[in-house]
Amino acid sequence: MPGAQRAPFDRALLLVVPAAAFMLLLFIYPFLYGLALSFNPKEGGAMANYAHFFTTDNLWPTIWTTLRLAIPATIINVGLALPIAFKMRVKSRYQRFATTLLVVPITLGTVLIAEGMLTYFGPKGWLSQFLQFTHLYDGSIRLTHNYWGVLISLVISGFPFAFLLILSYITGIDPVLARAASTLGADPRSQFRHIYFPLLLPGLAMCFCLSFVQAFSVFPSAVLLGRRRARRA
């Protein structure tokens, strides 16, 4: 191209424009708009909304109820995904099957999971009917419309996400390192503790962050499974 050398502007950069405009329009602008809006309350000074939030008894404790849900859910997700991903790191015959099975929930939306859980875990659902039929547990179980319902749905929807992230991290670790350790007499447990785990920790931290953010801001399962008639879950 004759003009390409003279032009200091690389036209390939234009490819960034749609993505940048998308971010600007759909993320940065709404964020700034919301930020400005939050300082323009219906009545009172600029900080009136924040003052209202931290002085109203049914508003500020929602921070703790949400943290009380999101942090255990994240720890369960990451803690469960780690050993399973560790087992799945080597190629085996059933690896593809098991990975597919574990990833299926990610294709279901949170709403679908919540609806399914309402019929499965509900007071007249399969689970409680089965438990009562086999007399394993005769008391009434309450797993929907409370803390446990939301926690279970967060684990179902968040687990595949954590699993896939950890799997990609763990398969990136060179198995030669573990093999070298085994020539020095390290058993599988100390291979994990001294080689895989330290190398994996940064990835685990990343995975924890992403899972946490996902769990913290989840809305559909909280409404469908958590909310009681009178008070807020």
Partner 1 sequence: MISIAAYEAAFEQYDYSLASAIAMIMGFVQLVIVAAVLGLRNLMYRGPVTGGKG
Q: What tokens were used for 64?
A: 């703790």
d(CA 7, CA 11): 9
Residue with Cβ nearer partner 1 (137 or 197)? 197
d(CA 106, CA 152): 14
Residue with Cβ nearer partner 1 (94 or 219)? 219
Helix (H, G, I), strand (E, B) or coil at 187: coil
Residues that bind partner 1 (CB under 8 A): 34-35, 37-38, 40-42, 49-50, 52-53, 58-59, 62-63, 65-67, 69, 71, 150, 172-174, 176-177, 180, 198-199, 201-202, 205-206, 208-209, 212-213, 216-219, 222-223, 226-227, 232-233
Residue with Cβ nearer partner 1 (27 or 126)? 27
CB of 164 to partner 1, least distance (A): 17
d(CA 144, CA 127): 12
Residue with Cβ nearer partner 1 (81 or 128)? 81
Residue with Cβ nearer partner 1 (143 or 218)? 218
Yes or no: say if 226 and 146 are a contact pair by the CB < 8 Å rule: yes
Task: Fill in the amino acid letter for 15.
Answer: L
CB of 106 to partner 1, least distance (A): 20
Residue with Cβ nearer partner 1 (159 or 169)? 169
Yes or no: say if 161 and 106 are a contact pair by the CB < 8 Å rule: yes
CB of 176 to partner 1, least distance (A): 4
CB of 209 to partner 1, least distance (A): 5
What are the two backbone dihedrals, phi and then psi, of residue 59, each rounded to the nearest 5 degrees?
-105, -55
Burial 134-162 (b: 16+ CB within 10 A, else e): eeeeeeebebbbebebbbbbbbbbbbbbb
Which parts of the chain are beta strand (E)? none
CB of 110 to partner 1, least distance (A): 12
Yes or no: say if 144 and 225 are a contact pair by the CB < 8 Å rule: yes
Q: What tokens were used for 124?
A: 């007249």
**Which residue, chain included where needed, has tokens 């499974």?**
225
CB of 32 to partner 1, least distance (A): 11
